[in-house]
Amino acid sequence: MVVRTAMAEAAGLDRGVPGATAPVVTGIGVAAPNGLGTGPWWRATLAGERAIAPITRFNADSYPARMAGEVRDFDPSEHLPSRLIPQTDHMTRLALAASAEAFADAGVDTSALPEYAAGVVTSASAGGFEFGQRELQALWSKGSRHVSAYQSFAWFYAVNTGQISIRHGLRGPSGVLVTGEAGGLDAVAQARRRLRGDAELMLTGGVDGSLCPWGWTALLSSGRLSTSDDPEHAYLPFSADARGHVVGEGGALLVLEAPESARARGARAYGALSGYAATFDPAPGAGGEPGLRYAIEQALDEADVTPDQVGVVFADACGVPDDDRAEADAISGVFGSRGVPVTAPKTLTGRLCAGGASLDLAAALLSVHEGVLPPTADVGRQAEGICLDLVTGTPRYGRVDVALVLARGQGGFNAAAVVRAADL
């Protein structure tokens, strides 16, 4: 426990009162394939409504994978001023919509905050790729003079943070982290770090997606996309029939605040972010244990939580057999065989790149807030050697004090976050 002592002392954390200084989430904004807005998404999630379907954004017939989780019925003109539409990628429009919802939900008037007190940290995995494809197409087919001036920022990884900070006048410390699919947790941890410094309120999370032929081609080269054409069987994490995953678009943005300031303005808190850790796997061929279990142990340790207090684990659920087994080993290693309920609501939406882990964090917060575990789509028989208590079919109701969220980014990135109920 040397690590814990060092971390606790270094950060000056108040370890005697669990959660006393942990920041709280007071607002949630969601853009998910199975629901635009927190309410519609959460109802669909509890009802087990699956949004994995054939791609409609472009003609995917010629590609070996053809299923995705698309955000449907999104009309950008309902969410954005018209001048922003030509300068934004689809994923940035979704992010701007989610940011507005999160602030409204938190009841925060950002214009009334002290000048440099609020910032934004988002995660991206690949930037605004659809916008980028249009400009690359213009460059190669028509020539350099046909490239849009907006290409200088509309596709790059920092675009969501920049556009959100402008839209809401957030002049405090901001940031952008890129760690593949782990980014949705890493960004939130970065925002927490800002609250320990001089920020009072942060908007954070990830809304992501690269659903265009160019992005799709790049995703295909990961070798991890499911080539099944059956929406019900394309993405079956932990299953004996696992065959890769389906990707989607969207994610969640959260308003994170110090508990004192949330209390002072009479806000409602969904829960507190009380533990987090990130690790990286050993280099390929180097041997040694993958890092996920160590990340879980460190995050629980920081939250001052023992494994038996954890009511649910939101799994990364990669859907690639070796990765599924590695994750199941890490979970069983900490909690025991079938030792904790495990769920993967992303089986309904697909993996949302850097947005998925933020959406899981939103689900974990609602789980502790409402006392309900959202279900995983039925994955059939678990693969040999995997023995998890998967929440399938219907939600499980009952008090949940602590939830653990796991995320892994391709290449070796691991992140674990602990949320717990918060009384302000």
Considering only residues 170 through 229, tell me which ones interact with other proteins, judged by CB under 8 A.
170-180, 183, 186, 190, 193, 196-198, 210, 213-223
Distances (CA, A) of 418 to 161, 226, 243, 300, 391: 24, 30, 29, 7, 19
Length of the chain as a residue count: 424
The enclosing H or E element of 68 equals: strand 67-69
Kindly tell me which of 289 and 401 has the beta carbon lying closer to other proteins.
Answer: 289
Q: What is the largest CA-CA distance in the chain?
A: 65
Shortest spacing between CB 189 and other proteins, in angstroms: 9
Pairing mode, if any, of strands 201-208 and 118-123? parallel
The nearest distance, CB 268 to other proteins, in angstroms, is: 27
* CA 46, 373, 419, 236 torsion-angle sign: negative
Q: Establish if 336 lies at the interface with other proteins (CB under 8 A).
A: no
* Binding residues among 311-330 for other proteins as defined by CB under 8 A: none
Q: Which is nearer to other proteins, 157 or 270 (CB)?
A: 157
56 binds other proteins (CB under 8 A): no
Interactions with other proteins, residue window 379-408 (CB under 8 A)? none
User: Nearer Cβ to other proteins, position 167 or 346?
Assistant: 167
Provide the minimum distance between the beta carbon of 8 and other proteins in the complex, in angstroms, as a whole number: 7
Stretch that binds other proteins, among 40-48, 230-238, 281-289, 329-337 (CB under 8 A): 281-289
Q: How far apart are CA 40 and CA 226, in angstroms?
A: 27
Which range in 20-28, 155-163, 253-261, 323-331 contacts other proteins by CB under 8 A? 155-163
Eight-state DSSP code of residue 71: P
Q: According to the binding rule CB under 8 A, does residue 349 interact with other proteins? A: no
Nearest residue (CB) to other proteins, 148 versus 306: 148
Q: Does 87 bind other proteins (CB under 8 A)?
A: yes
Rounded distance, CA 14 to CA 17, Å?
6
* Burial group, residue 106, by CB count within 10 angstroms (0-12, 13-18, 19+): buried
Minimum CB distance to other proteins, residue 47 (Å): 33
Q: Which residue in 77, 82, 141, 384 binds other proteins (CB under 8 A)? A: 141
Give the pairing type, strands 271-280 and 24-32.
antiparallel
The verdict on 162 binding other proteins (CB under 8 A) reads yes
DSSP lists the bridge partners of residue 256 as 25, 202
Is there a contact between 350 and 69 (Cβ–Cβ < 8 Å)? yes
Taking alpha carbons only, the member of 76, 123, 100 closest to residue 170 is 100
Binding test (CB under 8 A) with other proteins, winner from 54, 86, 169, 393: 169
Whole-number minimum distance, CB 273 to other proteins, in Å?
Answer: 15
Q: Which residues contact 4 (CB under 8 A, 6 or more apart)?
A: 298, 301, 302
Q: How far is the CB of 326 from other proteins (least distance, A)?
A: 15
Nearer to other proteins among residue 8 and residue 387 (C-beta):
8
